[in-house]
Amino acid sequence: MKICAYEVRQDELKDFAVYSKQYDCEIERHEELLTSDTAALAAGCEGVTTLGQSKLDAPLLDKLYAMGVRYIGTRTIGFNHIDVAHAKKIGLSVCHASYDPNGVADFTVMLMLMVLRHYKPSLWRGQVNDWSLQGLQGRELRNLTVGVVGTGRIGAAVIKNLSGFGPKILAYDAHHNPAIESYVEYVPRNTLYENSDIITLHVPLFDSTAHMINSYTIDKMKDGVVLINCARGELMDPVALTKGIESGKIGGLGLDVIEGEEGLVHRDRRTDIISNKDIAYLRQFPNVVMTQHMAFYTDAAVASMVRSAVEGITAMAKNGSYLTML
Ligand code: NAD
């Protein structure tokens, strides 16, 4: 079978070569996003794979279907960029990636430590030979309470990582995960908000979770709360984050993702005028650590992302099903 791969990065090429051989398919590779303008690249292909920046809305899905595409495999865990309901309706099968949660979980704890130990201003100072300590006194994880929202694969791995540092861990999820119940106390969401020094989100982006961190929920939190987001930017209202940082209600932010990141992350925009005021303003605070949606980005995860897409598309075509089919 023939698959058209969009958003292909150089570092994925060797994995595409390995898995096209292993799953016996021909894969065309393109750097472009999948849009209505680039959809024609998939002519003659039954399968299409993208990363998370292509927006697969209803008109684009209709266009792909009309061209003969029947299978879509996103090389990401999150699938909020695909109108899955419409895909199902018109007969397109969709699967998402699955990879070891440890890379994102390690990154999450790293962001917590970077914020708690003021690593960003310390790095700034070191670069101009300012080795002073003023303003850099940190806090120790073992003396704090961490609230984990979402205890699926990544949330559970974060909890296991954190257990080695010794904080009290509160958790909230619609479904309790028996694998981590001995490390955490499951509490209602508001109890978690009210009692946590650090809150980290590991839930998917749905209508029900969009802007779950907003002015109203931030008001419930402890003064000086540290918020971490390695899930999806849209889970947090950036205007409310800015207000919280300005007032001191929020003591620090560790953001691997932020609303409006599309078109910025994973690109070199050094010489461009960046018009997203929320991002430009938030990122300059000493207590806001922002990274370019890279928590996932390890050698092992990239190989699994490519494998999931190729394996998923070929399995859906062969068996009509796949483990991570949506
Ligand atoms: P998962 O499906 O294993 O876990 C998600 C958990 O969220 C589940 O336990 C589910 O019950 C819970 N949940 C869903 N809605 C909820 C709600 N309203 N309130 C509380 N809990 C709720 O997913 P995962 O593999 O742990 O990934 C979590 C998210 O992380 C993904 O959806 C993706 O958006 C994001 N992610 C980000 C990166 C990155 O590089 N920054 C990489 C991978 C995944």
For ligand 1, atom 35, the nearest C-alpha belongs to 231
Beta strands 47-50; 93-95: pairing state: unpaired
**Phi, psi values for residue 153, rounded to 5°:** -65, -50
Close Cβ partners of 310 (under 8 Å, ≥ 6 residues apart)? 3, 16, 19, 20, 22, 23, 25, 27, 49, 73
Instruction: Please answer whether residues 2 and 47 qualify as being in contact, where contact means their C-beta atoms are separated by less than 8 angstroms.
Output: yes
Confidence at 324, pLDDT banded by 50, 70, 90: confident
Distance 135 CA to ligand 1 centre (A): 35
For ligand 1, atom 19, the nearest C-alpha belongs to 173
Distance 54 CA to ligand 1 centre (A): 20
Confidence at 99, pLDDT banded by 50, 70, 90: confident
Q: Where is 313: in which H helix or E strand?
A: helix 299-319
Reported as a single tens digit per residue, the pLDDT across 33-52 is 999 999 999 999 999 999 99
Q: Which of 232, 234, 307, 311 is catalytic?
A: 232
Residue found by looking up tokens 């009692």 in the block: 195
Query: What is the sign, positive or negative, of the torsion defined by CA atoms of 250, 252, 257, 262?
Result: positive
Distance 316 CA to ligand 1 centre (A): 23
Residue found by looking up tokens 């106390």 in the block: 185
Q: Is 232 a catalytic residue?
A: yes
For ligand 1, atom 33, the nearest C-alpha belongs to 78
Q: What is the pLDDT of residue 96?
A: 96
Helix (H, G, I), strand (E, B) or coil at 126: helix
In eight-state DSSP terms, residue 213 is B
Using the CB atoms, write b or e for 237-275: b if 16+ within 10 Å.
Answer: bbebbbebbeeebbbbbbbbbbbebbebbbeeeeeeeee
- How many C-beta atoms lie closer than 10 Å to residue 113's C-beta? 14
Question: Among candidates 76, 2, 66, which has minimal Cα distance to 39?
Answer: 66
Reported as a single tens digit per residue, the pLDDT across 64-88 is 999 999 999 999 988 999 999 999 9
Both tokens assigned to 31: 């750097």
Average pLDDT over residues 121-125: 97
Confidence at 321, pLDDT banded by 50, 70, 90: confident
Contact residues of ligand 1, CB 6 A cut-off: 77-78, 101, 104, 149-155, 172-175, 202-205, 208-209, 230-232, 256-257, 293, 295-296
Q: What is the pLDDT of residue 323?
A: 77
Long-range CB contact pairs, 117-123, < 8 A, 24+ = 118/286, 118/287, 119/289, 120/286, 120/287, 120/288, 120/289, 121/286
For 231, half-sphere exposure in the C-beta direction (CA atoms, 13 angstrom radius) is 29
Both tokens assigned to 271: 């010489």
pTM to 2 decimal places: 0.91
Q: Is 153 a catalytic residue?
A: no
Q: Is 261 a catalytic residue?
A: yes
Ligand 1 closest atom vs CA 209: 18
Q: What is the pLDDT of residue 318?
A: 92
Q: What is the pLDDT of residue 261?
A: 94
Reported as a single tens digit per residue, the pLDDT across 108-121 is 999 999 999 999 99
Instruction: Please answer whether residues 256 and 107 qualify as being in contact, where contact means their C-beta atoms are separated by less than 8 angstroms.
Output: yes
Distance 274 CA to ligand 1 centre (A): 29
* Strand ranges of the sheet holding 145-149, from the earlier edge strand across to the other edge: 185-186, 168-172, 145-149, 198-201, 225-229, 250-255, 288-290
DSSP character string of 86-115: HHHHHT-EEE-----THHHHHHHHHHHHHH
Q: Which of 75, 153, 202, 293 is catalytic?
A: 293
Return mean pLDDT, the chain: 96
Question: Among candidates 33, 31, 39, which has minimal Cα distance to 61?
Answer: 39
Distance CA 110, CA 71 (A): 37
